[in-house]
């Protein structure tokens, strides 16, 4: 029997009810709202929409959304993906070939010779000696990891990027081609360096947002801001060096752990307003396409929408704070119970698990056996009950197969 996309009503009522929760999130794309309303024909009429089955997929997956998390600054681990590089994995080799070619043309340097040499640099060394390569490495590793997961059947329902990671999240959702995404990042690197060299840095605090804001008020420097709200007990300040130094000293006196970050610029701070304006004008030349997976922005507090000015919004990242904690909470409220880190390390999944005990998390590049980690993570992003460990009783068939069968019944 041929499939009729209009027969989404065959999806069980509990799934449709939870889909309405997802549709109620701020800025939900039209096809998500249509799915939540149970209006499959409206979902089909909304151009440009998701690929075939996406409306039904969201309706079913709202029972347990699988979220792909894309890390930002700091997401580098020596040796990540090296085994795949050495055996010539196309997902890894092709990704780095594209990133290398664009970086060589625009910045005069390549990424792969540094990352895949016999003794790759430590995270601190890479940030200190080659911060530009560090940012490009974050993008390349995330895209290559996403491609490896896709080869193994992963089909996340939502992408969520953290700061710089939103570029990878949008790229893997089809908004940008990888070459353009790399060129965009190179422009970001060049513009910020030109406008903000020595302007400031960042400081991680082991405290919640309210205490961080009170600390900022106490110091009273106009350019010291809360730049990142990661978790109930983790925030990041951004500001001029002297203000950051004062904040660290006072925080320690108050018993708050304060860790200077090695980032060369005060990201997510109005100090970068000039860089924001120039970046928006320079990256508007890159072609964009509608996303094929919903992308939730931790900076906008909503989904990216068809028709958004991506150049303007990505430039906004330089001056606007990252609201990761509340973004994870919004997706959790919509039914997200599976979070997979698409990049090196396990910081984002760790924060999600800390905030919402009981969720299933996977960080495929954080362990020694990346192949096994990727296999487990891909299974978690393709199972109907993704909050359950893959392989457990009742894990079932991949989501898309289940939903297509329901839609065709």
**What are the pLDDT digits (tens) for 103-125?**
999 999 999 999 999 999 999 99
pLDDT at 65: 83
Any domain includes 393: no
pLDDT digits (tens, 9 = 90+) for 228-263: 999 999 999 999 999 999 999 999 999 999 999 998
The dihedral through the CA atoms of 175, 371, 76, 132 has a sign that is negative
pLDDT at 209: 97
> Which H or E run contains 379?
helix 370-380
Both 171 and 73 in one domain: the answer is: yes
Both 25 and 94 in one domain: the answer is: no
Both 334 and 367 in one domain: the answer is: yes
Name the residue among 101, 92, 266, 126 with its Cα closest to residue 183: 101
Residue 171, helix vs strand vs coil: helix
Any domain includes 175: yes
Q: Please name the residue ranges forming H helices in 38-130.
A: 40-45, 54-61, 82-86, 90-107, 112-115, 123-129
Segment 145-155 shows an average pLDDT of 97
Both 73 and 159 in one domain: the answer is: yes
* Owning domain of residue 238: 201-263
Distances from the Cα of 297 to the Cαs of 96, 154, 188, 344, 392, in angstroms? 26, 21, 18, 20, 32
Both 55 and 79 in one domain: the answer is: no
Segment 134-163 shows an average pLDDT of 97
Higher pLDDT, 188 or 33: 188
Higher pLDDT, 173 or 388: 173
Cα angle value 97/102/108 (rounded, 5°): 110
pLDDT at 20: 53
Any domain includes 21: yes
Any domain includes 24: yes
Both 84 and 162 in one domain: the answer is: yes
Both 73 and 172 in one domain: the answer is: yes
For residue 279, pLDDT beyond 80: yes
Count CA within 13 A, CB hemisphere, residue 379.
13
Segment 313-342 shows an average pLDDT of 96
CB 158 within 8 A of CB 330: no
CATH of the domain at 363: 3.40.366.10
Both 179 and 209 in one domain: the answer is: no
Mean pLDDT value across the chain: 83
Number of structural domains (the chain) is 3
> Which H or E run contains 179?
helix 178-196
pLDDT at 382: 82
Both 179 and 72 in one domain: the answer is: yes
Any domain includes 398: no
Both 231 and 311 in one domain: the answer is: no
Lowest mean pLDDT among 20-24, 93-97, 124-128, 404-408: 404-408
Segment 272-300 shows an average pLDDT of 96
Tokens 């794309």, located at residue:
29
For residue 27, pLDDT beyond 80: no
Any domain includes 118: yes
The widest CA-to-CA distance across the chain, in whole angstroms, is: 70
Both 178 and 106 in one domain: the answer is: yes
Among 209, 243, 263, the domain-final residue is: 263
CA atoms of 205 and 5, how far apart (whole Å)? 49
Any domain includes 54: yes
β-partners of residue 67 are 158, 339
The CA-based dihedral angle spanning residues 308, 309, 311, 312, taken in that order and rounded to the nearest 10 degrees: -110
Both 173 and 311 in one domain: the answer is: yes
pLDDT at 23: 54
pLDDT digits (tens, 9 = 90+) for 371-384: 999 999 999 998 55
CA atoms of 266 and 29, how far apart (whole Å)? 32
Segment 339-354 shows an average pLDDT of 96
Any domain includes 286: no
Count CA within 13 A, CB hemisphere, residue 157.
36
The dihedral through the CA atoms of 316, 322, 324, 326 has a sign that is negative
Q: Which residues 6+ apart lie within 8 Å of 274 measured at CB?
A: 195
The full DSSP string for 303-368 is E--TT--HHHHHHHTTTSPB-HHHHHHHHHHTTEEEEEE-SSSSHHHHHHHHHSTT-EEE-TTSSS
87: cis peptide before it, omega within 30°? no
Tokens 């070939």, located at residue:
97
């Amino acid at each position: 029997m041929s499939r009729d996309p209009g027969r989404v009503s065959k999806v069980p009522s509990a799934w449709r009810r939870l889909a309405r929760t997802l549709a109620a999130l701020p800025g939900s794309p039209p096809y998500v709202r249509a799915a939540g309303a149970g209006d499959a024909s409206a979902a089909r009429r909304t151009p440009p929409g998701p690929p075939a089955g996406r409306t039904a997929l969201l309706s079913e997956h709202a029972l347990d959304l699988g979220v792909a998390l894309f890390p930002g600054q700091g997401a580098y681990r020596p040796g990540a993906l090296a085994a795949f590089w050495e055996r010539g994995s196309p997902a890894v080799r092709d990704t780095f070939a594209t990133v290398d070619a664009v970086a060589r043309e625009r910045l005069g340097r390549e990424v792969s010779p540094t990352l895949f040499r016999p003794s790759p640099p430590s995270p601190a060394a890479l940030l200190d000696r080659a911060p530009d390569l560090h940012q490009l490495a974050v993008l390349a590793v995330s895209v290559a990891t996403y491609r490896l997961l896709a080869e193994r059947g992963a089909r996340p329902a939502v992408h969520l990027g953290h700061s710089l990671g939103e570029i990878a999240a949008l790229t893997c959702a089809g908004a940008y081609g990888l070459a353009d995404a790399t060129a965009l990042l190179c422009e970001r690197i060049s513009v910020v360096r030109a406008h903000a060299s020595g302007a400031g840095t960042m400081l991680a605090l082991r405290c919640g947002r309210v205490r961080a804001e009170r600390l900022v008020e106490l110091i009273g420097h106009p350019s010291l801001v809360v730049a990142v709200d990661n978790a109930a007990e983790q925030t990041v300040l951004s500001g001029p060096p002297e203000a950051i130094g004062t904040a660290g000293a006072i925080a320690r006196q108050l018993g708050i752990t304060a860790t200077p970050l090695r980032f060369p610029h005060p990201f997510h701070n109005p100090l970068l307003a000039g860089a924001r304006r120039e970046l928006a004008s320079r990256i508007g030349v890159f072609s964009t396409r509608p996303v094929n997976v919903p992308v939730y922005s931790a900076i906008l507090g909503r989904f990216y929408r068809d028709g958004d000015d991506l150049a303007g919004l990505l430039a906004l990242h330089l001056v606007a704070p990252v609201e990761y904690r509340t973004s994870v909470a919004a997706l959790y409220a919509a039914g997200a119970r599976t979070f997979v880190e698409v990049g090196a390390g396990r910081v984002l999944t760790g924060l999600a698990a800390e905030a919402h005990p009981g969720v299933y998390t996977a960080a495929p590049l954080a362990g020694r056996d990346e192949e096994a980690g990727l296999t487990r993570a891909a299974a978690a992003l393709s199972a109907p009950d993704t909050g359950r460990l893959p392989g457990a009783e009742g894990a079932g068939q991949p989501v898309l197969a289940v939903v297509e069968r329901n839609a065709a019944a």
